[in-house]
Amino acid sequence: MSDVTPSSHSNAKINRRALLSGSIGFIATAGVLLPSRPVCAIEKDYRHGALSVMDFGARPGLSDNTASLDAAVRAAAARGLGLYIPQGRFWVRELRLRNGLRFIEGPGWLVGSDCGPEAVITTNDLGSTTPVRNMRISVRIDCNYIARRGIFGVALQDSEISDCEIVNLSHNGGDAIRLNFPGSSGNVVTRNRVVLATSGAARFPEGLFGIHVVGESVTSKGGLERLGRPSFVTMTTRNNRIIANHVTGGTHGIGFFSAPDFICSDNLLERQILRNIIAGPTCIRGVIERNRCMEAGSSGVHIALGSSMVRIANNLIRSSRVSENEDDDAAIQAYAYCTDIEITNNDIAGDWRYGVYVGYARNVMIFGNSIDATNFRSASIAIESGWQSTLPPQARFSRARAVGYQIDIDTTDIFVKRNIINGGPAAFSLAQIGPRSLTRVRLVSNRVRSAATDVVAVELKPGALADLELIGLDTDAAAPHLELPRGRAHFSRIEGVKIP
């Protein structure tokens, strides 16, 4: 028997193979089974509280599904349901999500249309203060080299962006996922995969970010005033967690801009044109930990411009792409009015200029890091009071000239302890540059193996009250070379190290 007739009252013939495979369902009407929509993942999601965009006229391959998708969002939001995007490519100008929508998900792709949207998915007009809350966004987005952003969360709160895939974005000033002021707070961005351009810094003067968290500020530079000191304003984009994402390419993998109380952990960031992770200006109270930062053109982790109370810990940072930006190149950088920074237990290797660079900063602990400096071009750990230096090449400052803001503070209270350094031209470089002081730097119980030139290189101006301490240096050199033009006068205390 090749066909099954469900009722003598129905002339509809149904293929037996389709019936047994479960691709056809039935609706009982007055005792008669009638064929219904195919039983598939869509209907399974119906039972879990979702509508399908297909029910509102959306079809894969149509040149513009915007009206159908918007109708689907409105209906799902009004009923407190989710939205399902089945297999296929759904072209859309811009899809606005609304309060009441529980989630949007599915295996289908949302594709930026020829109309050139600001973002494929957005939650609000830029500047809107109406919160959009408690939803999950799990979609696949093809920006089609047209959309400036994949997901643009404005005033998005207590929501989750997870398991998304975002590709084909190369817009100057673009972001695959952006949480924007005002009020984008309490969100989790996790398990997303982003693929961006991997070369050409000149093409993106305004940046191209994988994941970008942008806070409210009193100036376009995040509260950093022209006088050069940060203005700690009330910032409303806070408490966002960026966890376990994979970002390839872009100028920056993950960025925080005036976004306090953040967590950035367990992400894989690779082949960024400039920086894997950047935090600043004025990022206060943050954690950057257990990330894998690979092949950045400028720095692995970069914090600057008024950022404070940030912990950088247990990150794996490898290699650099020196052809992109040779003048700004360190695995970890903390400078320009950074205060209360902890850099601890990071694993650093590659062909960086510096392993850790600190300048114009206060209250910084550099503790327990492992630095393989075999292929470094300068010092493993550099601490400076400005952005210019006359030190020899093995301990040269990372910038040839001042760039951006001149944050006018002393570099002081830097504690460098129990780091393990292997190879490299110089282990430690301490330099007073410009009018500000370099003071209260303590090098305690560090271990240095096979430094090629200098174990410690110091450059201070005559009469500077440095208050430096060098205690318990463990080195395999019989008489470690300390580049000290004025000898012991640089240090208030030297113990456990031999001065040649």
Give φ, ψ of 2 to 5 degrees: -95, -25
* Mean pLDDT in residue range 164-193: 94
Model pLDDT for residues 381-417, shown as the tens digit of each residue: 999 886 543 333 333 323 333 333 445 578 899 999 9
356 Cα distance to chain centroid: 19
Coil/strand/helix, residue 134: coil
The share of the chain scoring above pLDDT 70, in percent, equals: 73
Give φ, ψ of 357 to 5 degrees: -120, 130
Closest of 447, 436, 428, 425 to residue 491, by C-alpha: 428
* Mean pLDDT in residue range 167-185: 91
Contact 254, 230 (CB under 8 A): no
Output the CA angle 109-111-112, nearest 5 degrees: 160
* Mean pLDDT in residue range 68-84: 96
Burial class (CB in 10 A: 0-12, 13-18, 19+), 369: buried
End-to-end CA distance of the chain: 99
Phi-psi region of 31 (alpha: psi -120 to 50; beta: other; left: phi over 0): left
Structure confidence at residue 277 as a pLDDT band (50, 70, 90): very high
Q: Are strands 89-92 and 103-112 parallel, antiparallel or unpaired?
A: parallel
Contact 380, 427 (CB under 8 A): yes
- pTM for this model (two decimals): 0.84
Mean pLDDT of the chain: 79
